[in-house]
A and B are shown apart, each in its own frame.
Chain A
Amino acid sequence: MTNCIEIKGLCKSYGDFALNNIDLTLPGGSILGLIGENGAGKTTTIKCVLNLIRRDTGEITLLGYDNVREERLAKQDVGVVLDECFFHDTLRPRDVGSILAPAYQNWDQGLFRDYLSKFGLPEKKFIKEFSRGMKMKLSLSAALAHRPKLLILDEATAGLDPVIRDEILDEFLGFIQDEDHAILMSSHITSDLEKVADYIAYIHQGQVVLSDAKDNILDSYGRVGCTAAQLESIDPRDILRARKGTFGCEALVKDRSAFARKYPMLLVERTTLEDIMLFVGKGETK
């Protein structure tokens, strides 16, 4: 089966910042969560995927099509929700349907109306009267109404309350029930990704520093809480990153079980994606 997204050796330089040799693969029927600090390169990667910016080197295919040479074919089955609602305030949801229908071969006006109704969006109300949550739901309805196979979401759930986020995440889970469907989503809200993502790619300073199945990461990585003296006693090869605080130290380990066997006196706990981000972003190698 063709991967929904394949990124090979993607490089893009802005002088003071560069995406460096990004390799990512998104198989069908799954969600790939892109995490990283602000300015790490998540949006730049997504912009390269959507051909909004020119890449320096590398190859990107969307649903088997080259995203530059076969851009129109590649994007025909892609739904996009970016970090803002890009529809003009003076438009109404039904106008959005009329505008987008000619752009997509498979646009389904009935389905668009169904989504509007499902999300409780009045068709005749001006977008300027919508809340942020309503605007994001409108963007999502617009992204889904042409029955895409691939959804690309850049911080689509940022700034939304937990209830709306949960509603949208449920929609994503329903979307990937079809094995041909997949989602690439970048988010700062790591708890959302822990709920829905199958794969996680962590971009740090323009490089992929971690890319694996989410369950592998959460089942394998561990967080060790210890004193400075205990930290000193640990073999540097057994920890990835360490953080030293006033009241103690903590370390990130890649293989929790192996670490627990080797250091039975130290307590090693399950970790979260947020912990991993904090270790990589603020921690240091021992």
Chain B
Amino acid sequence: MTGLIMKDSLVMRKTLKSYLLIMVLYAVLACLDVLNFGFIITFIQVMLMVLPITAFAYDEQAKWDRYAMSLPLGRSRVVGARYLFVLALALCTFSLGLFGTAFIHLLQQENLMEMLLTLMVSATIGLLIPAILLPLCYKLGAERARPYLYAIIFIPTIAIVLLAKAELLDFSALNRFETLPPSVVVGGAALLPLAGLVLLFVSYLISCRVVAGKEY
């Protein structure tokens, strides 16, 4: 299984390198207070969401799956390797985000709680979207699953914007968080990525089921 995780990293080494470069650039911009930290974290998460679908596209191009299924691993391990790759990416981003949060807080004395909340929410989104997308990729293939990626990102965003404009959403409820102790807010927010992890595991089980029924 480690070999397959390594395969994903090696196949996408150029992409990962360029992403790393962008992250460093954005980190510098955040330190210089040119860009908002929350924007950067969310942007990086969105970039990473595209990576699993890119991995599927590369595999389809090489017809890798047929070969992978002929290895002595079993189908669930082949699927597991892809999920672990996604998890490793999410962990890297989260760690970088955590490091960035601490650094910027020390440098600019920005609101730590707000930055941590942003990080937790973006990390959850970073887990939630692959959780929905990966079973679709296994079922439909990368190209046919790609429109769903845009749908997953844009439909909720547009819906929230429209509901807010129509004044159907009450954002004043968020102000109540300010009355809560910071430890309660951050502790509660930390549950969000955990829920994301649970969803990713459920998604893995669904993908295993999809792959078990496939012929290569």
* Complex contact A103–B3 (CB within 8 A): yes
CA distance A103 to B77 in the complex (A): 11
Instruction: Give the residues in chain B near A50, CB-CB below 8 Å.
Output: 69-70
Known: A88-B59, A99-B10, A102-B1. 4 other contacts (CB 8 A): A72-B72, A72-B73, A90-B13, A95-B7
Nearest CB on B from A151, distance (A): 12
CA distance A84 to B71 in the complex (A): 16
Q: What are 16 contact pairs spanning A and B, CB under 8 A?
A: A50-B69, A51-B69, A52-B70, A52-B215, A54-B215, A72-B72, A72-B74, A75-B71, A84-B63, A88-B61, A89-B61, A89-B62, A90-B10, A91-B7, A95-B7, A102-B6
A104 and chain B: residue at smallest CB distance: B72
Binary interface profile of A, 67-86, with partner B (CB < 8 Å = 1, else 0)? 00001111110101010101
Instruction: Give the residues in chain B near A100, CB-CB below 8 Å.
Output: 3, 71
Q: Taking beta carbons and an 8 Å cutoff, which residues of B are in contact with A?
A: 1-4, 6-7, 10-11, 13-14, 58-59, 61-64, 66-67, 69-74, 215-216
Nearest CB on A from B121, distance (A): 34
Q: Is A172 an interface residue (CB 8 A)?
A: no
Instruction: Give the residues in chain B near A104, CB-CB below 8 Å.
Output: 72
Instruction: Give the residues in chain A near B63, CB-CB below 8 Å.
Output: 84, 86
Q: Taking beta carbons and an 8 Å cutoff, which residues of A are in contact with B?
A: 47, 50-54, 71-76, 78, 80, 82, 84, 86-91, 95, 98-104
A12 and chain B: residue at smallest CB distance: B215
Instruction: Give the residues in chain B near A78, CB-CB below 8 Å.
Output: 72
Instruction: Give the residues in chain A near B215, CB-CB below 8 Å.
Output: 47, 52-54
* Complex contact A95–B10 (CB within 8 A): yes
Nearest CB on A from B52, distance (A): 16
Instruction: Give the residues in chain A near B3, CB-CB below 8 Å.
Output: 98-103
A88-B72 CB under 8 A given contacts A99-B4, A102-B1: no
B2 and chain A: residue at smallest CB distance: A102
Partner of B66, one of A72, A75, A86, A89: A86
Instruction: Give the residues in chain B near A84, CB-CB below 8 Å.
Output: 63
Nearest CB on A from B63, distance (A): 6
Instruction: Give the residues in chain A near B73, CB-CB below 8 Å.
Output: 72, 103
B67 and chain A: residue at smallest CB distance: A86
* Complex contact B62–A87 (CB within 8 A): yes
* Complex contact B10–A82 (CB within 8 A): no
A75-B2 CB under 8 A given contacts A86-B62, A88-B58, A91-B10: no
A82-B71 CB under 8 A given contacts A99-B10, A101-B3, A102-B3: no
* Complex contact B72–A75 (CB within 8 A): yes
CA distance A98 to B7 in the complex (A): 8
* Complex contact B71–A103 (CB within 8 A): yes
Nearest CB on A from B212, distance (A): 10
CA distance A81 to B70 in the complex (A): 10
Give me the 5 closest cross-chain CB pairs, A-B, nearest first.
A86-B67, A75-B72, A102-B3, A53-B215, A52-B216
B215 and chain A: residue at smallest CB distance: A53
CA distance A73 to B3 in the complex (A): 18
* Complex contact B11–A76 (CB within 8 A): no
